[in-house]
Each structure stands twice: as structure tokens, then as C-alpha cells.
Amino acid sequence: MKYFCVIGEPIEHSLSPVMHNAVFKKHKLECKYLAFRVKKEELENAVRGLKALGFKGFNVTIPHKEKIIEYIDELSKEARLIKAVNTVKIDKKLIGYNTDGIGAVKSLKSLGEVKDKKIIILGAGGAARAIAFSLALEKTREIIIANRTLEKAKKLAKEVEEKTGVKTHACSIDKKVLKEKIKESEILINCTSVGMYPDINSTLVEKDMLKSDLVVMDIVYNPLETRLLKEAKKAGAKIINGVEMLVYQGAEALKIWGVEPDIELMRQAVLKELKQ
Ligand SMILES: NC(=O)c1ccc[n+]([C@@H]2O[C@H](COP(=O)([O-])OP(=O)(O)OC[C@H]3O[C@@H](n4cnc5c(N)ncnc54)[C@H](OP(=O)(O)O)[C@@H]3O)[C@@H](O)[C@H]2O)c1
């Protein structure tokens, strides 16, 4: 039996076990995926323990994605740029990857190219950072990072541009500014927690800022259709919900561990769990 898991705190609501075990079960693989709550001060011991117990790989979630780097032997290019790891392969050495950004890129690519596109990202936290770097690695034309704390957006934009060469700048989330920036963009991605349960009526983007020739992705998956996505749909835009990023980042993790993903099965497993 090959063992995998996710470590984080809190961990009770993680959808990863359901998503990965669905693949293992359907394809009759001798694999099992577990979830462990790990406190910050126990992170190093937990990593040593997983290695000692013969785990083949694990996912890392909040609050350990940055700190885990101290205990990893090798980092992928994305993980090095993003400075965060969400997937680890144990193969004598510990190799750290970041599949969050590429998960978002892959879900966007299911609707069309991202190369040469002008993209506006709302937020400058962990998810925004992973997505901004992964989009830049796909050679997008330009990235705008809009954030409530403007300084954070400026810092991230500077880093993305310096390290990838893709034109990236920052702006505030002031309605007038956002309206103008969205008008110039082809893809909008909400990487803030605005609109997430229980604040389901919140949005940073008003109806009149949206347009039909826009792809709108919201990485929030609870609710499945956020207010932003509802309004984007009404405006005639193409929409992508947060489950897609979750599924594609999981699929990339499975590939790293040598397991063939099953996107539709993983999507259905997550959707079923969310409905319960
Ligand atoms: N679908 C997926 O697979 C997936 C993966 C990762 C995360 N997520 C979701 O993405 C969201 C962000 O996650 P994260 O890890 O990036 O969190 P994070 O690092 O804490 O960043 C949160 C971001 O949201 C902004 N924000 C929070 N409340 C706001 C408000 N009331 N008005 C304006 N901006 C606000 C913050 O702005 P400031 O900088 O000004 O504080 C920051 O940019 C969460 O809802 C998380 O569940 C989904």
C-alpha cells in the first residue's frame, strides 16, 4: 500500500482526501490518502515522521506552505519562485512543488489560451502569488495585481516582473480604478476571500464593471457560484468556479506522485462533498 496525505491546521474540511481516494478506489490502486492536523511547532517532526513511515508524498496547506521549505531537499522552479510548497514527493529526498498556480492556469486553459493575454488578479495573498507567477511562466502579455493593501500588490508585481520579465503592475481596488483596469483586460481572477461563505453577497466587482468578452475565474469554491460569477454570467462573460483550480492542482500533484489523474471523477467527488 502507498500512503499519501495532506498536513495543515485546520484540516477537517479539506476536500483532498475525498478527491484523491476517489481516483485510487475507481482505478483499484493500492493507495490511500489521509489528512493530518499538524501544529506549527510540530511541522519538522511531522515531515520526518512521514518520511520514516514510508509515505510516498503529501500535500501541504495553510499555515505550512512557506515554512515547509526549510525541511525540503529540492524545489521545483515554480516552488522556488513562489516561495511556497503545496506538494511534496518523497523519493529518498524530499522534493517540493507548487501546483496551486498551475492548477489555476490549467483550468483557464480549458476555456482558451492564457499566452499573450492581459490578466487582472484581485488579491496579493498566497493564492494570488502562486497564480501570478504561474501565469507569467506561461508568457501572458501583462498582469495587473489589484489589492486592498496596495503596498502588498506593488511588492508582488515588482517581484513577478523582475523574476519573469512579464510586464506586471499594481493598482488599488477603488471602483473607478478597477473598472478602468478590467476594461483593458481579457481575464479576471478573484484571488481574495471576498464572496466566500458566509459573506456571499460581497464582491469587489460591480455589475457595470463586467463585459461579455471577459473570462472570469473565482477561486472561492464555497459557494460554487459566487456573486461575482453570477454577475459575470449575466454580463455574458465566460466563468470558471473555484472547484476547477482545486481539481487541477490535485491532478498535478497526482502526476508528480506517478498516478494518472481522472479529472471528471475528481470534480464529481469534490462537488458531491461540497453539496453535503
Ligand atoms: N480553489 C482553490 O483551489 C483555492 C486555493 C487556494 C485558495 N483558495 C481561496 O482563495 C482565497 C484566498 O486565499 P489565500 O491563501 O491567498 O489567502 P491570503 O493569503 O490570506 O490572502 C487573502 C487576500 O484577500 C484579500 N482580502 C481579504 N478580505 C478582503 C476584503 N474584505 N476586501 C478586499 N480584499 C480582501 C487580502 O487583501 P489584503 O492583502 O489587503 O489583506 C489578500 O489579498 C481564499 O478564499 C481561499 O479559500 C482557493
pLDDT at site 216? 98
pLDDT of residue 260: 97
Closest C-alpha residue for ligand 1 atom 17: 125
Please state the atom number of ligand 1 nearest to the C-alpha of residue 103: 3
Confidence of residue 276 (pLDDT cuts 50, 70, 90): confident
How confident is the model over 38-55, as a mean pLDDT? 97
> Which residue's alpha carbon is nearest to atom 23 within ligand 1?
192
Tens-place pLDDT, residues 152-205? 999 999 999 999 999 999 999 999 999 999 999 999 999 999 999 999 999 999
Other Cβ atoms less than 10 A from the Cβ of 219: the count is 28
Q: Which residues fall within 8 angstroms of residue 177, CB to CB, at 6 or more apart? A: 146, 171
pLDDT tens-place string over residues 123-148? 999 999 999 999 999 999 999 999 99
Supply the residue whose CA is at minimum distance from atom 18 of ligand 1.
Answer: 125
Name 154's Cβ contacts closer than 8 Å, sequence gap at least 6: 170
**Residue 61: predicted pLDDT:** 96
Give 10's pLDDT tier (boundaries 50, 70, 90). Answer: very high
How far is Cα 101 from Cα 106, in angstroms, rounded to an integer?
9
What residues act catalytically? 65
The partner residues of 143 in beta bridges, in order of sequence, read: 119, 168
Cβ < 6 A, ligand 1 pocket: 100, 123-128, 147-149, 152, 173, 191-194, 196, 219-221, 242, 245-246, 249
Atom 34 (ligand 1): residue with closest C-alpha? 148
Average pLDDT over residues 1-24: 97
Ligand 1 centroid, distance to 69 Cα (angstroms): 21
**pLDDT, the chain, mean:** 97
pLDDT over threshold 90, residue 54: yes
Nearest atom, ligand 1, residue 129 CA: 16
Q: Quick one: residue 198, left, alpha or beta (phi over 0 = left, psi -120 to 50 = alpha)?
A: alpha
Average pLDDT over residues 208-232: 96
Q: How far is CA 49 from CA 32, 35, 273, in A?
A: 17, 14, 29
d(CA 145, CA 182): 11
Mutate to test the pocket of ligand 1, among 171, 193, 263, 267 (most ligand atoms within 8 A of CB): 193
Task: Report the atom number in ligand 1 closest to the C-alpha of 243.
Answer: 1
pLDDT of residue 257: 98
Distance, CA of 228 to CA of 218 (rounded, Å): 7
* pTM of the predicted protein model: 0.96
In tens, the pLDDT along 228-251 reads 999 999 999 999 999 999 999 999
